[in-house]
Structure formats: structure tokens, C-alpha cells
Structure 1
Amino acid sequence: MSNFNWSDPSRNFVQSDRSIWSSIFLATQYNEEPLKIPDQQPLTEMNPSSLSVFLLTLFLVSHTCLSSSSSQTTSELFEVWCKQYGKSYSSAQEKLYRLSVFEGNLAFVTQHNDLGNSSYTLSLNDFSDLTHHEFKSSRLGFSPTFLSLKRKSDRKPSVVRDLPTSLDWRKKGAVTNVKDQGSCGACWAFSTTGAIEGINKIVTGSLISLSEQELVDCDRVYPNNGCNGGLMNDAFRFVIDNNGIDTEEDYPYKGWDDTCIKKKLKRNAVTIDDYTDVPSNDEEQLLQAVASQPVSVGISGSDMAFQLYSKGIFNGPCSTSLDHAVLIVGYGSENGVDYWIVKNSWGTNWGMNGYMHMMRDHSNPKGVCGINTLASYPIKTGENPPLPPPSPPPGPTRCDIFTHCATGETCCCAKRVVGICFSWRCCELDSAVCCKDQRHCCPRDYPICDTERTLCLQSNVQLSTQSHAATGNLTSKALESRGSLGWGSMIRGWIL
């Protein structure tokens, strides 16, 4: 990150201009790396550009001219923010739209922080050019459908005698690094793996990062539906029935729904014996459970303050309608206010390095944002099976019996006759979508080809409305006429 002070921009300027910028931000001082969540991307290269470190300087107008130049000042601040977080846009019109969204979020942050009567602060962050609707549609994914039919009998956690006044499972080495679900609604998978990672460390002494992508791809028992949402209890059941779960290293996260790699279903690094639910709306029982291990919980994470949370003890506003899944990794108290330590899956640029302190509201049985409503955790008593050997490196991508593309590339048909492909081209993207113009391809998570604008889109709505719901650019890849010599290659010469 740059040396620009997002907590108080006024410190970056001369003393006489401090009043202009007071209370605009209370940004997270914990952020480390930028994060992008684009909705549409232009059609050429998909290589992510490396992020530079900027030393940012702004020239401010005087306080007496602020009312006439606030729009210009906000535009300058937006430019600083774009550089800070590596943002770019597909057109000038798109950038203007994102500026208007940024202004709205800035006003919301400013209004909240200026009141000065809250236990937490907000900040402009990576998500500040997203509308609240865009944020909700890409960052949640908890599906409590028919939940009452799926809950196990509530089992009271083992009583922890001499319950400590505070506890942080991170300090005990039972929590992996904060992960990022991206624009895939797989929060349920991250909450599941986090709970299993924790109990595995407690029982075996080994902290192993587990595969969310295996759950996204392979756990398709309703209501679990990959990036479209799911439940932790069903994911625990999947791991039990599968006799374990693979590591993140062997089955890495992609951020989109993909075909289940069945040969990796038996490469189980960690097993669990069972799972159980904490009695609903019982904070004391939840506290006992967290004192024993990290616990999966459902919460309401769809309020705007959640999107722009920076630090402090969050106490709402929020409903108790569950739509997001997180992991409680401890508890504590500050100035007489009790809180949960909550691990999120939105990357380290959100909140306090990816964490939130959420108030323990003793007067509300459901808890803040419904956190006491639906809590569960896995049960494990024994050791894991021996770790399987590493998977062999993948070979070339086979197009047909005679033709192949390089490892990690996608075969795209360039000539098809009566449903049979006679000519292949290679897309350098893995699991890509081949465009109908037979000249371009798009990444799997941007599957709609807009060849007129040379863009890859996430939905047909953007294609039909020329939507401005973009936060980044990515051009499609041109297909390359290469591959092994074979029947397909020889026929290509005859047809062309």
C-alpha cells in the first residue's frame, strides 16, 4: 500500500487545509493488498497486472473555495483511490458512472463517521465503486432454505470449566490465513473449511488449509449449489460421506463453479467424525462452543455498513435474516463491551485484515445480525489418514485423439461440420469459454462474449442493456492456430 493516509486524508496536506478533510474517512489501517471484483472485462489479455506502490500527493483548494470545487476535489480523490486499488474501467462513461457510485459511498462513510456516536467506523475500501446491490449479489451466498428440516438435534457443547475472559484461536495456531471468495457466493464453503481446519489443528496439532473449491464443485446435494449458495451442515455431511476433504494446495480455489475433479475426491487430507448444532438463540451455549473450537455461523451481512466496515465493535444496523456465513474464532471485551472475533472471506482489505469484532448483545437472544441463530461445528476425535502423495503435473489439454493444446489451455473449435469439429484453436486460458466468432475466448467467470465491444461479461443483462456495472477491464484472448500435428490439423488445411 502507498504512504497515503486513508484514516485521515487531511494529514497528507498542509495544516490550513485539515478542516476540509476532517472526518471524511476512518479507513482501515490494516489493509495490505488491493482486491478487484469486476463485473465485466474488456476482450484481450487476462494476465493480472502487478500492483504498483504509489506515493500519492493531492493539491487541495482552500476551505473558502470548498463549496464550489467539492466535485473536482472528489474527482481527484477518486483518481487517488483508483491508483491505490488498481482500478481501471472499460470506457470514460463507465468511469463516470463509477465515480458517482464512489461519491455515494463516500457520503455514507462521512455521515456515519461524523456522527461520532458509534462503536465502529467505516472506510472507503476496495468495494467503494460498487453499488450496494452489486456488492450483495457477489459477496453473499448463505442458503437457509428448508433449514428447519435439516438441523440436527441440538447438542449442548461440553462445558468448559474456568471459561477464559477472552480467547483467540488465531493465537493458538488454529486459524488459517484470511481467504477471498471473490465474486462467487461460496461463503458457506469457507465457513465450513475454517471450522474443520480449526478442529483438525486442535486434535492433531497440524494446521492444514483445506479446499473450498472441492465443496463448490463436488458438493451438489440440495441446497448446496456452488457459487449460488449453500449450507455448512450439508457441507459437513459431504465431508463425512466422502471420508474427508482435500487440501487447498492440491485442489486450489478458482472462484467459479467448475466440473468436480473426481479423482481428487479420494485425496483426503483431513477427516471429521460428525457435526452438531449449537442450540438456537443461546449465547451462553455458543460461548461454550467457541471456547472449545472455531464455530461456523450464519449472519445477516447484507447491510451497507457491513460492506464498508473498517474497525471497531460492529453492532448494526442489520437484520436477523441470515444471508452470509462466517467463522467465529474467539471472543473478547473492550471498554466493557463484549464481542465475537469473526473471520470473513472477503480478503484482507476488508475490515481488520479480514476480521470483524461483532458485539455480543446479551439482551437479544438472536444476537447482532442473527449470529446466535444458526451455529454449528464439526466433531473430530482421531488422527487423519496418511497424506496422499502430490498429484502428478497435468498433461496437455486433449482436443481430439490427434490434436492437443498446451497444459492449462482450452481447446476451441474453429471449424465444425455436421456437429463434428474438424479444426481446433487454442485459448491460453484454463477452462475458458470459446466465443462464437471462433476468434476469441473469455475466462470462465466472465462467460458472455460481447464481440462488438470486445468485452467479456458476467451476465446477459450487461450485454442487452450495455450496463455500466463494471469495476475492471479484461480483454478477450485471441485464439491461436497451434497444437500438435494430427488428423484435425491436416483437415484444417483442406477446409480453409
Structure 2
Amino acid sequence: MLFLFLISILLFVPSLSSSPIPTRSEHELSLLYEGWLIKHNKSYKDSLEKEKRYTIFKDNLKYIDEHNAGNHTYSLGLNVFADLTVEEYRATYLRTMPPKEWKQGGNESDSYNLDEISGVAPDSIDWRDMGAIGPVRNQGGCFSCWAFAVLTTVEAINQIVTGDLQNTKVVSIDGYMSVRRSNEYQLMMAVANQPVAAAVEGYGQNFQLYTGGIFTQYCGTKVDHAVAIIGYGTKGGQDYWIIRNSWSDAWGESGYMRLERNINSQGGKCGIAQWPYYPIKYKNMTSKLRGVKTPATTYLS
């Protein structure tokens, strides 16, 4: 028990303010690794593979320490991906493009392009606080992030409309809508109504090893991963999105990331404003916006 307690302290490496780079003996590194293996229930086929992963683990830890020694708005840490190279992480958990249906906008019979939403959105919202978000899931390495992101939004709209989060009898929708592309204000208005599925570029060691804070690292817009936007807010003058991932609660902030919002880039941070969609359900919905019709009521009239 004491061993696990000491290991938990050693594993806590993130810091949101600048600090000296830690120096560790080989014995301390070995303890860190063994504790990390226990924490994340890791096992390997043989001792050679375990040693290979240990080398990668130490390389990642060096990168983590160097990052956390700087003055950043977010921290890196020994999360579930700490034994992967960035290339392995990319090959296992990321895809190249969003599904064809997202890019085409779907069929006219069950989807609509939403050009503008009017009204006044709240300064912040977190749909977890409204009971619309269930436990974080783990997609594994099956490239199913799109399905998990959409499922999150479908469950959420059913909870918002019916009050029931995960009753399989009511997990159904009547179509979906696309938010006006590359417009973070319109995206904020949509998220104020309900969680939204979106695509981001998740490639990079910083995204891989993220453990907390507002992610402000440079990233491109070649989207390769789907997430659900379940809220937004501001801290210390820094605007952010709250995104829900599907890599279990052993990544990020218990499965979530705060991603920089309102940046001077057309596609948004990591391309998050490029492909936003959300489901609609034909029933009067309570809107968090003042003076705006929700998609369900709009397309019933």
C-alpha cells in the first residue's frame, strides 16, 4: 500500500507554472515505470517488449519534464499513452479524414445546413452539469471515434428532450444539422443549445500526453479525430472549448480537454470549427439561448 502511495506521488509530474526540470536516478525511473504499469494495467508479450516500452516511456517523460518546466497554460503527464511513440499513437488512434457523410453534409431528407443562429448565448456552459453527459468511453484502437462522438451528442439530445440519458428505447433522432463552418461564434451558439460533434487534428506529442489545463499548443487543421464539444468557458481571460474524448478517463482531464477558443484562425484551434454537426429531435426543446428557436421547433413549423 505504501509502495502504491509513493508511486502515485512520483507519477504526478504535471505543472502549470514554470519549474526546474527534475533529475531522477535510474532506480527512480524504474519505480515510476513499474507504478505506471500497475496504474494503467499494462502488460507486454515478453521482457524485450517491456524494455522497449521502458525506453519510450523515459523519452516521453523527458519531453514531459521539459514542457512542464516552461510557462504554459496546460500540462503534460504520464497518461495511458506514455509508452507509445508519437508515430505509434497516430497509427493506432487517429484517422486521416472525417467520414464521407460529414463532408457531404448527409442527405437532404434528414440533414440541414445551419447558416446562422441568432440570440444571446450564456458566457459559459457545461452539459455535464445538466446531467446530459454519461461516463467517458474507450474506443480502443478500432478507429471508431466518429461513432463515439456522435453517440455522445445523440444521448445528450435525448436527455435534453426526454430527461432520459441512456434508455435505449429513446436513443433516437430525427436527423442532424451542420453548424456554419469555420465560425466559432456560431459554434458557440450551437453548443449553448446542445453538445456538438466535431473533428480536430489530434496529431502531436503534446496532444498525446495532455493531462490538464487549456491546450494552446500549435496544431494544424488536417483533422484526424472526432470529439464531442460539451461546453465552453473562460479562465484567466483565456476562452476554451470543453471537448469530450473517447480514450477513457486515463487521458486528459479524466477524459476531457479544454481547447483554446476564439483564435485568429479560420478553422478554429486544431480545426475544431471545420466539421461541426449535431443531432435534432422533433420535440419542443428548452434552449439555453435567449430568443432563439431550436432546430427541432424550427423544422416542425
TM bin, normalised by shorter chain, reads 0.7 to 0.9
Post-superposition Cα deviations, 1:350-372, rounded to whole Å, max 9, x if no partner, equal 11111110010332221110111
Q: CA deviation at 1:148?
A: 8.2
- Out of 125, 128, 131, the position equivalent to 2:82 is 128
C-alpha separation between the residues in 2 aligned to 1:102 and 1:27? 19
* Aligned twin of 1:3: 5
SS at match of 1:75: helix
The number of residue pairs the alignment matches comes to 272
With over 3 angstroms needed to count, the CA separation of the structure-2 counterparts of 1:5 and 1:338, relative to structure 1, is farther
Give 3-state SS (helix, strand or coil) of 1:154's partner.
strand
SS of the aligned residue for 2:213 comes to: strand
Q: Which residue of structure 1 lines up, in the alignment, with residue 109 of structure 2?
A: none
Distance 2:283 2:102 in 1: 30
Percentage identity across paired residues of the two chains:
39
Answer yes or no: is the 8 Å Cα contact 1:141–1:186 preserved in 2. no
Matching residue's letter, 2:164: S
Superposition pairs of residues 129-144 of structure 1, within 5 angstroms: 129-141=83-95, 143-144=97-98
The offset of 1:27, in angstroms, is 7.8
Q: Label 1:102 to 1:118 Cα distance change in 2 as closer, same or farther (>3 A).
A: same
CA distance in 2, matches of 1:206, 1:88: 39
2-structure distance, mates of 1:190, 1:175: 12
Gaps of 5+ in 2: 17-21, 107-111, 285-301
Residue 168 of structure 1 contacts residue 331 of structure 1 at CA under 8 Å; is this kept in 2?
yes
Partner of 1:199: 157
User: Matched residues in 1 for 2:164 and 2:102: separation?
Assistant: 34
Partner in structure 1 of residue 212 of structure 2 = 311
Aligned partners of 1:275 and 1:379 also within 8 Å:
yes
Give the 4+ runs in structure 1 shifted more than 6 A: none
Alpha-carbon distance change, 149 to 135 in structure 1, aligned in 2, over 3 angstroms = closer
Closer/same/farther in 2, CA of residues 157 and 347 from structure 1, 3 Å limit: farther
User: Structure 1 residue 321 and structure 2 residue 222: aligned?
Assistant: yes
More helix as a share of residues: 2
User: Equivalent of 1:82, from 37, 44, 49?
Assistant: 37
* 1:333 maps to amino acid: T
Please state whether the residue corresponding to 2:279 is helix, strand or coil: strand
CA distance in 1 between counterparts of 2:103 and 2:40 reads 44
Higher-Rg member (1/2): 1
Cα 1:27–1:79 shift into 2, 3 Å: farther
Q: Which residue of 2 aligns with 1:189?
A: 147
The letter for the 1-side match of 2:199 is G
Q: Say if 1:123 and 1:309, in contact at 8 Å, map to a contact too.
A: yes
Q: In the alignment, is the contact (CA less than 8 A) between 1:160 and 1:291 conserved in 2?
A: no
* Residues 1-46 of structure 1: CA deviation (Å, up to 9, x unaligned): 943465x639xxxxxxxxxxxxx82189xxxxxxxxxxxxxxxxxx
8 Å contact from structure 1 (residues 141, 188) kept in 2: no
Task: Say if 1:274 and 1:354 are closer, same or farther in 2 by CA, change over 3 A.
Answer: same
Within the alignment, does 1:174 sit opposite 2:129 as a pair? Answer: no
How far off is 1:70 after superposition? 3.2
Q: Are 1:101 and 1:129, in contact at CA under 8 Å, matched by a contact in 2?
A: yes
Aligned to 2:294: none
Task: Assess if the C-alpha contact under 8 Å between 2:117 and 2:186 holds in 1.
Answer: no
CA distance in 2, matches of 1:142, 1:175: 27
Q: Which runs of 5+ in 1 are unaligned?
A: 11-23, 29-65, 210-246, 248-267, 384-496
Match of 1:113 in 2: 68
The aligned residue for residue 271 of structure 2 is 370
Q: Is residue 85–residue 126 contact of structure 1 (8 Å, CA) maintained in 2?
A: yes
Instruction: Say if 1:181 and 1:187, in contact at 8 Å, map to a contact too.
Output: yes
Displacement of 1:85 after TM fit? 2.4
Distance of 2:129 and 2:116 partners within structure 1: 22
SS state of the match for residue 83, structure 1? helix
Q: TM-score normalized by structure 2?
A: 0.82
SS in 2 for 1:377: strand
Q: Secondary structure at the match of 2:25?
A: helix
Matches within 5 A, 1:162-311: 163-208=121-166, 247=168, 269-311=170-212
Query: Within 2, Cα distance between the matches of 1:363 and 1:205?
Result: 38
Change over 3 Å in CA distance of 1:146–1:91 after alignment to 2: closer
Q: Name the CA shift for 1:27/1:137 in 2 (closer, same or farther; >3 Å).
A: farther
- The aligned counterpart of 1:156 is 115
Question: How far is 1:320 from its partner?
Answer: 0.8
Describe the SS at the equivalent of 2:29: helix
Aligned to 2:293: none
* Distance change (3 Å), C-alpha of 1:160 and 1:204: farther
CA contact (8 A) 2:96 2:224 kept: yes
